[in-house]
Structure 1
Amino acid sequence: MRLSVYTKEFSNNLKLAYPIILGMLGHTLVGIVDNIMVGKLGPTELAAASLANSFVFIAMSIGIGFSTAITPLVAEADGEKNVEKERTIFHHGLVLCTILGIALFSIIYFSKPLIVYMGQPEAVVEMAKPFLDVVAFSLIPLIMFQGYKQFADGKSETKVAMWANLLCNIVHVFLNIVLIYGLWFFPKMGMLGAAYGTVISRFVMLIFIHLSLKHKERFQTYFEQFSFSEYRKDIVKKIVNLGLPSAMQMFFEVALFTGAVWLSGVVGTTSQAANQIALSLATFTFMFVSGFGVAGMVRVGNFKGAQDFEGLRIVARSILLLALIVQVFFALVFVIFHSYLPEMFMNAENMAHLKDNAEVISIASQLIIIAAIFQISDGIQVVVLGALRGLQDVKIPMYMTFVSYWLIGFPISIYLGLYTNLKAVGIWIGLLAGLTAAAIFLYLRFNHLSNKLITRNS
């Protein structure tokens, strides 16, 4: 098949994907801004924020992964032009996301004592505890926001979430500046100021998306007849059956990177801080292809609802090609600027931490080279996973991601990181191995299913 068959879909893909990408970058920028501002306080503070955020990121991955079940169901109903079905899915999905957000916050809050037993430096642990108490509360508005966002994505309305995230980041940066450093009449709270900034800005984001969608004419019908008494077991079961495996898929990947944070903490504070710098940069680029993955999920869901399976495969492959082009670009940026990027996160004028800062920068620059290599694998696995979710195929991919990350990737990270001189670099080689295995397995799965659908309907 000619390349032009795929490239002609680029404009439609980008039109749908760019607001999703900007919105996802908004989520990531909240963490990056925290890391940059907290990193200026010192490497111990940066390591503490990294450790606390690792707990929150795990919970967040479960919540966001679960909420993605709403998008393909709504996209399929949109393809069928079934408004009542869309409304029911939206209402049930929002209630489930609210319950899950509260549950995840509770679990994180009460599991906090486990930090003591994770082999992390004592000074890092003591700083991380109060930070975790506050920042974990932001899970409630964040997962509720996802309920609205995933519904809007399924309707191909991706700009509202983008503006919500932009507002969130403006509020977050402002609050970080005044609360961390105590400007004007605000108290000087240090790294705790970043945590409070995150919580408040995410509530602002939630309120914004609710009001924006409710007052859009095409969405007003979906806010009607909302009642907790309309509970339908079949709809709940459908969302849960898609949402739980999707949550586990995302959990397995995020937990792998979180495991890298913990392993780096065992190696030492400077390795943990360096890991957080490289992880922040890799997460930033991941949001681009993750946005393409959501676009693929929506478009594949639409084509599935319309029973156009040839078009479905063309669209999925065109998004994959687009993602690969973007990831190759970022890989080149990482290689060229690997020695300079870590300096954004450290205070070069802080003489008290001069030696530690130099070591952090040195380690981080090596990790960024590995991050450049796994850009390709990361792009393939997330886009193909999005296409599989659009097909509502989630259980087999869940097992594939578990094998890739936890039977292949993490054991390699443990061995090379803790039992060889590679240390932090060895940990990241394990991440590369896991992502590459996932990319191969998931692509083979999508290719098999799309061929099967086309053959059955030919």
Structure 2
Amino acid sequence: MGFSAYTKEFRANITLAYPVIVGMLGHTLITVVDNIMVGRLGSTELAAVSLGNSIVFIAMSVGIGFSTAITPIVAQGDGAKNHATVRSAFHHGLLLCTVLGLFLFGVVTLAKPLMYLMNQPAEVIALASPYIDWVGFSLIPVVIFQGYKQFADGMSLTKYDMYAAIFSNVLHVVINYFLIYGIWFFPRLGIMGAALGTVVSRTAMVIYMHYLLSRNEKLKQYFHNFSFSEIKKSMLRKIVALGLPSSMQMLFEVALFTTAVWLSGFLGKNNQAANQIALSMASMTFMFAMGLSVAAMVRVGNNKGQGDYVNLRTVARSVFLLVIIVETIFGLLFVALHDFLPHLFLNMENTIQLTDNTEVISIASTLILVAAVFQISDGIQVVVLGALRGIQDVKIPTIITFIAYWVIGFPISFYLGLHTPLKGTGIWIGLLAGLTAAALFLYLRFNYLTNKHIRNQREPETLNLKPETK
């Protein structure tokens, strides 16, 4: 198949993906804005927000990963024009996301003592503990929001997430500005102001998303006459069967990056702050890959619903090619700007913090160079996972991600980071190794499955073409 067969799909991929990218950038910006605003208070405050967000983000990854089960079921139902399946997936998914959000908030609250077992700096823990209480509570609206978002994505209506994210971020920045620094008559709350801004903006985001979707003419039929009598064990089991492995896939990756934050804590607060800066930059560019992953999941799910596996593979490969191009561009930008980017997060005019901030910038600029390299691997692994979820293959990919991140990536991060002079750079080399292994083996899995489906479709046709024997 010629190269043009893939490039001609770029327009459809980008049209579907760009609102998701903007929306996900918006969600990531909530954390990045916290880091930038809090970073101007000092490296200790930035390290505290880094540690607190690392714990909360592990739980959030479980909720986000679980909710992705809704999208392929909705996309397949929409492709097959089966409105009952779409309605059922939405209602069951939203119920499960609500329960899961409450559960994850409880888990994060109970997990706070783990900070003391990780040898994190005492002054960082003292600031991080109350911060976690409030940001942990924001998990409830975040996971509920994911139920709405994944439903809209499955219906190929990806712009609503974008609108909600923009609304949420504007509100978040305003609240942060007044509460972190004590502007006007508001009290100066420091990092607690950032936490409160996160809770309020995420709660408003859910309310706004519900308002937008319920007023859409195409979707109105799914917002009327909800009853718990419609809840069926069969659909709950189907969503859980897809959602649980998907949540584990995301958990394995996010937990590896979170472990990088904790390992950096062993090296001191400046290493931890530098890690958070580099991670913030990598997270921003990763959202582009995540948007393309949703495009792969939706378009693959549609083609699966139509039974067209040849086009399914073409569409998926076009997304893989597109993410390689996009992430290569970001990698080159990281290389060109690695000395400049860390300055966005710290106040170099603060003479008291000057020594710490100078060290943070030196470490972060090196980590950004490593991030430039793993942009491509990170992008490939997440879009291939999206395509695999689109064909509802989740169990084997879960095993692959566990091996890639925890059998390959973590030991390398641990050894190079804590037992060699590479320190923080060594931790990130381990991340690179895990992501590269995941990208390779997930692609091999996708290639195997699509070849198998296409071969199975063609065999009956071949049998029908054989001449009859007397």
TM-score range, shorter chain: over 0.9
Q: Distance in 2 between matches of 1:85 and 1:303?
A: 16
C-alpha distance after superposition, 1:66-91 (max 9, x if no partner): 00000000000011100011101100
Instruction: Quote the Cα distance in structure 2 between the aligned partners of 1:8 and 1:428.
Output: 36
In structure 2, the residue matched to 1:226 is 226
Quick one: distance in 2 between partners of 1:300 and 1:85? 17
Matches of 1:85 and 1:384 in 2, distance apart?
25
Q: Which residue of 2 aligns with 1:416?
A: 416
Structure-1 residue corresponding to 2:275: 275
Task: Provide the residue aligned with 2:198 in structure 1.
Answer: 198
Matches within 5 A, 1:139-288: 139-288=139-288
Counterpart of 1:296?
296
**How far apart are residue 225 of structure 1 and its match?**
2.1
Structure 1 residue identity aligned to 2:89: I
Give the secondary structure class of the aligned counterpart of 2:245: helix
Report how many aligned residue pairs link the two structures: 458
Partner of 1:86: 86
User: 1:106, 1:350 → 2: CA distance?
Assistant: 38
- The answer to whether the aligner puts 1:108 opposite 2:108 as a matched pair is yes
Query: How far apart are residue 111 of structure 1 and its match?
Result: 1.5
Segment drifting more, 351-360 vs 222-231:
222-231
Aligned partner of 2:30 in structure 1 is 30
Deviations along 1:285-343, whole A, 9 cap, x unmatched? 00001110011000000000000000000000001111111001000000000000000
Q: Could you list the runs of 5+ residues in structure 2 that have no partner in the other structure? A: 459-470
What residue in structure 2 maps to residue 383 of structure 1? 383
SS in 2 for 1:217: coil
- Taking the TM superposition and a 5 Å limit, the aligned residue runs for 1:4-23 are 4-23=4-23
Corresponding residue of 2:77: 77
1:187-218 Cα distance to aligned partner (Å, 9 max, x none): 11111100000000001100001011111111
Cα distance in 1 for partners of 2:186, 2:87 equals 43
Q: Structure 1: which 4+ aligned runs deviate by more than 2 Å? A: none
| AA at the equivalent of 2:136 | A
Alignment partner, residue 42 of structure 2? 42
Q: Percent identity?
A: 63
Residues of 2 paired with 1:417 and 1:85: CA distance? 49
1:394 and 2:394 are equivalent in the alignment: yes
The structure that has the greater radius of gyration is: 2
Q: Which runs of 5+ in 1 are unaligned?
A: none
For 1:130, the equivalent position in structure 2 comes to: 130
Match of 2:368 in 1: 368
* Distance across 1 between alignment mates of 2:221 and 2:29: 33
The residue identity in structure 2 corresponding to 1:186 is: F
Alpha-carbon shift at residue 117 of structure 1 (Å)? 1.1
**Partner amino acid, structure 2, of 1:190:** G
Aligned with 1:218: secondary structure? coil
RMSD: 0.6
Greater displacement, 305-314 / 219-228: 219-228
Shift of 1:382: 0.5
Q: Could you tell me how far apart the structure 2 residues matched to 1:104 and 1:229 are? A: 26
Secondary structure at the residue paired with 1:156? Answer: coil
Deviation for aligned residue 1:229: 2.5
